[in-house]
Amino acid sequence: MNLKDRIAEYPNFPKKGILFRDFSPMLKDPAALSFIGDEFSKYFHPKDVDVFAGIESRGFILACILAGRYEKGMIMIRKSGKLPGKTTKLSYTIEYGKDTIEIQKGIIKEGQKVLICDDLLATGGTAKAAAKLIEKVGGEISGFAFIIELTELNGIKGIEKYNCKSLVKY
């Protein structure tokens, strides 16, 4: 299946000069969702994953698809202030400023193998921060799963030591 045929492109979004690649059309296509699960299942072995972590918010979708496929749990990596209860936070620099992500305290056990999921890898700032956050609380990164990778932005730099898989590359 050619997933590029199911990715919408929006020029000048969210700002002028950006070409936004949107995987949303895949969400209404059961064959595409099944294909995504199949492709990642070929790459990541179930014994290497204890839990899936979805990066807010589009990563939640991929993490849920894979968690269901693997019969494992899913946790959320969210922007600061979005999770109830006590959280562990990590602030990081992005291309246009600073941001903070968090997870709920105790949601990852020491040594648990975590596969981090997001819809798109661009500059890699959030992916790198997510890995640091998971490791900060004692989790082990088993890899990264991305539907789309914008290779010209070199976001893989800094996470290439992990097992990374992108289904569509531009």
Residue 49 is classified by DSSP as: -
Spatial neighbors of 103 by CB under 8 A, at least 6 apart, are 53, 75, 76, 77, 78, 83, 87, 88, 133, 134, 137
Q: What CATH number is attached to the domain comprising 117?
A: 3.40.50.2020
Number of domains making up the chain = 1
pLDDT of residue 144: 98
Answer whether residue 4 is part of any domain: no
Answer whether residue 72 is part of any domain: yes
Residue 14 is classified by DSSP as: S
CA–CA dist 8, 14 (Å, integer): 14
pLDDT in tens, 51-76: 999 999 999 999 999 999 999 999 99
Instruction: Look up the domain containing 51 and give its range.
Output: 44-169
| Cβ(65)–Cβ(42) below 8 Å | no
Answer whether residue 94 is part of any domain: yes
Mean pLDDT of the chain: 97
Answer whether residue 1 is part of any domain: no
Q: Residue 88's closest CA among 127, 123, 129? A: 129
CA–CA dist 36, 119 (Å, integer): 11
Answer whether residue 58 is part of any domain: yes
Q: Which of 6, 21, 58, 78 is catalytic?
A: 58
95 is catalytic: yes
69 is catalytic: no
Answer whether residue 7 is part of any domain: no
For residues 27-36, average pLDDT: 97
CA–CA dist 15, 20 (Å, integer): 9
pLDDT in tens, 83-127: 999 999 999 988 778 999 999 999 999 999 999 999 999 999 999
pLDDT of residue 146: 98
Answer whether residue 57 is part of any domain: yes
Give me the sign of the Cα torsion angle 133, 136, 139, 140. Answer: positive
The reported pTM is 0.96
Q: Which of 21, 39, 56, 95 is catalytic?
A: 95
Q: Kindly state the tokens that stand for 15.
A: 């700002």
